[in-house]
Chains A and B, each alone.
Chain A
Amino acid sequence: MHEFGLMTQLLQAVEAKSREMGSRSVLAINLLIGDRASIVDDSLLYYFEMLTPGTLAEGAELNVRRVPSRFYCPNCDDKYTPTGADFRCPTCSQIGTITSEGSELLIESIMLAKEE
């Protein structure tokens, strides 16, 4: 459900950027979303289709690049993705620490149409 609020904010940021760049049409929006951010792609798309008609982003492509959740194991000196049952390193079973990889909520770039 928080995808509604997220999409509202996203579209405001994208529209502001397109106006700033002098474009009247957004062709694509490229997002970077971490797996720990609890965002459901289908839900994002649902609100995207609900909120974009009549805006600069109507008909744009919404691309989501996912970032896996990564932890750091000091024993192996390597990053790993926890299995889901606990936060242990799958190689040595030691508990590592969280890294920032996996919590991204970013607009990476947008593709704009520019009139000649």
Chain B
Amino acid sequence: MAVEQVKMVKNILTGNDELAARNRDCFETAGVLAVNVMASPGAGKTSLIVKTIEELSGRARIGVIEGDIAGRIDTEKVLAAGAADAVQINTGGSCHLEANMIQQALNNLDLSALDIVFVENVGNLVCPTHWALGEQLKLCILSTPEGHDKPVKYPELFAASDVIVLSKMDLIDLVGFESDFFYESVRALNQAAPIFELSCRTGQGVARWIDWLVGMKTAVNGSAL
């Protein structure tokens, strides 16, 4: 028997990346801005989506793909807040969404009737990082009670994000969050991503986030809201 060494030098996740590229085509063809929302459980992913839906009410038609291990609590929340459409994915234990799950969800979402789609990933700062879904923007949310050291502990997600939201700013003085440490760590990982400090409870900083998002919708799709 002969033995042959074959060089591959191939990303392990190429299969997922190819499916993600097809999803991205679907979003782009429909002129939809797709945002992959990643954060720990409880950081405020659903709260930011709900707040954004409320703030853009009458201006943007927002769809949501909800990824959770089980249940449809968040889907009901975003629909109650005025989402134009929402699809629930239950991963049944998997710690992150994969491109094929989004491909299936897109069968149940009429993109022609939407402007922005938020894909709310499973709450986790590790696993979702390397799985492209077809989004044009990766959004990472960190809430102040989680602590300023998270970028050091979970560098890849902060390095990979296009935009970072520091949420629950109304609690910052209660939880000993050291902003200097947070900013210097994030900037070691990612010099380009804008960072928005906000609180969905008080509304502080939300307007800046909305303005930026609306600007991105125009920049990415060429069509303004």
A99 to chain B, nearest CB (A): 10
Residue of A6, A9, A17, A27 contacting most chain B CB atoms (<10 Å): A9
CB <8 Å contact, B188 and A108: no
Chain A: interface secondary structure?
A: mixed
Could you say which of B8, B11, B129, B152 contacts A109, with CB atoms under 8 Å apart? B8
How many angstroms between the C-alpha atoms of A91 and B197 in the bound complex?
A: 33
Considering only residues 1-34 of chain A, those with a C-beta below 8 Å from chain B are: 1-2, 4-6, 9-10, 12-13, 17, 21, 23, 27, 31
Could you say which of B2, B16, B127, B152 contacts A85, with CB atoms under 8 Å apart? B152
Q: Would A96 and B188 be within 8 Å (CB), given that A9-B16, A103-B156, A103-B159 are in contact?
A: yes
Answer yes or no: A76 CB below 8 A from chain B CBs. no
Tell me the count of chain B residues lying within 8 A, CB to CB, of chain A: 38
Answer yes or no: B6 CB below 8 A from chain A CBs. yes
Residue of B5, B96, B190 contacting most chain A CB atoms (<10 Å): B5
Answer yes or no: A97 CB below 8 A from chain B CBs. yes
CB <8 Å contact, B6 and A108: no
CB <8 Å contact, B95 and A2: yes
How many angstroms between the C-alpha atoms of A2 and B95 in the bound complex?
A: 7
A52 to chain B, nearest CB (A): 15
How many angstroms between the C-alpha atoms of A105 and B132 in the bound complex?
A: 14
Chain A positions 56 through 87: 1 when the CB is less than 8 Å from some CB of chain B, otherwise 0:
00000000000001010000000000101111
Give 6 A-B contacts (CB < 8 Å), ordered by A residue.
Answer: A1-B127, A2-B94, A13-B12, A27-B3, A38-B129, A109-B5
Could you say which of B2, B13, B126, B152 contacts A9, with CB atoms under 8 Å apart? B13
